[in-house]
Amino acid sequence: MRILYTFLFFPILFFGQVCDSLQMQSLINIGPLQISEINESMGLRNGTDYNGATIYYPINQNNLSSIVLVPGFMNTELTIQNWGPFFASHGIITMTIGTNSLTDTHVQRRDALFDAIISLKQENQRIASPLFGKLDTSSIAVGGFSKGGGGAQLLAKFDPSLKAVVALYPWLENVTASDLEHTVPLIIISGQLDAIAPPFLHADIQYNLTPMTTKKLKYEVAFASHDAISGPYAGNGEVGARVLSWLNTFLVTDSCYCPLLLEQPITSSSYTTNIVCSNLFTNIYESNKSYSKEIIEIRDLYGRKVKFSNSRILIYIYNDGSYEKKITL
C-alpha cells in the first residue's frame, strides 16, 4: 500500500525512538542470524501434555523472546517446523511441539502449549542448555495451525501474561465471546478458499468476537486453502513478513515495525486491523466512550483516492486507524 511509503523507505522518529529504514521485503526471507536447535535427546524436557519438541534459536544472542507453536488436527510437528528457522533467524526463539494424539481437541492443544512453555522456561535455568540464561521468560507468545490456532487463542484467556497470539488458518468450533475475552494481541491468518476452516465460519467470527480493546489483525490470503506446509512463505512470503512484524511489535516491543502492519498485502483478499501505531501500548478505545466505526477514505491498490465501486479490490480506511482490503461483488 503506497500511503505508507515514507514509513518504509526513510529513517523515521517513531514514539521517541529512531527507527532504521524498514522494508517489508527484508522480512520475507530467512533472517541474517545463524541458528541451531535442540530437542529431548539433548536434555529438553518432554511434557506430559504434548509429544516431542524442537527449539530453534539464534546463536550468540541474549535476552531473547520466544514463541511456542502447535500443529493442527491430524498434523504432526513437522507441518509447522518451517516457522522455526524463519523466526529464529530473525531473532525469536521458536519451539515447535507435537501432540499426544493427532486428533487432540483445541482444548488439549491449549494445554499442550501451556505445558510446553514450562519446558521452554526450564531451558533458561538448565545449566547444560545452550539457552541457559539467554531467555526473557516474561516475553513469550503462542501460536498454532488450524485447531492449534484455536487452542492458542483459548490460552490467551487462560494465561494473560502472554505477549502475542498467532492463529494460522484457525479452527475453533462453538466459540463464544467469553472464550476469546482476553487482552493478548492477536494476529489471524486465513485462506480465502479454505474449505476446512472457511473464514466466514472461523477466522472472521473469531476476529469479531475478540474484544475491540484487544489489538488484533486479520489477514485473509487470496486464493489460499487450508495450507500448513507453506508456513511463512504463503502469500509470496507476505504471511511470514506480517506475522514477524506482529511479533516484533508486541512480543519484542519494537514499535518501528508497527507501520509495516498497516501496509496492505498485495496477496490479501481481506485485511483488517484495529491497531493505531500512535496508541500502541494503551487501550485503543476508552471504556467509557461509545464508538462508531466509519469509513473515512477509499483508495485503490496504487494508493489513489477513489469512490466506491463494485467488482474492484479497494482499500477502506476507517476512523479508528484500521484498514481493510476487500472486493464487493
pTM: 0.81
- DSSP 3-state assignment of 199? coil
Q: What is the DSSP string of 88-111?
A: HHTT-EEEEE--SSTT--HHHHHH
90 is annotated as an active-site residue: no
194 is annotated as an active-site residue: yes
Residue 24: pLDDT band (50, 70, 90) is confident
Long-range contacts of 76-84 (CB under 8 A, 24+ apart): 76/102, 77/52, 77/53, 79/145, 79/228, 79/229, 80/144, 80/145, 80/148, 80/228, 80/231, 81/54, 82/229, 82/231, 82/232, 82/233, 83/143, 83/231, 83/232, 83/240, 84/37, 84/54, 84/56
Residue 317: pLDDT band (50, 70, 90) is confident
Taking only the tens place, the pLDDT of each residue in 263-299 is 899 999 999 999 998 877 654 333 333 345 567 677 7
Higher-pLDDT residue of 55 and 296 is 55
287 is annotated as an active-site residue: no
Edge-to-edge strand order for the sheet containing 295-299? Answer: 295-299, 313-318, 323-327
Higher-pLDDT residue of 285 and 209 is 209
- The catalytic position among 65, 146, 190, 268 is 146
Taking only the tens place, the pLDDT of each residue in 77-124 is 999 999 999 999 999 999 999 999 999 999 999 999 999 999 999 999
Query: Beta-carbon neighbour count of residue 304 at 10 Å?
Result: 10
- The catalytic position among 226, 227, 245, 268 is 226
- The catalytic position among 115, 179, 194, 227 is 194
Domains parsed from the chain with CATH numbers? 2-289 (3.40.50.1820)
The pLDDT score that the predictor gives to residue 278 is: 80
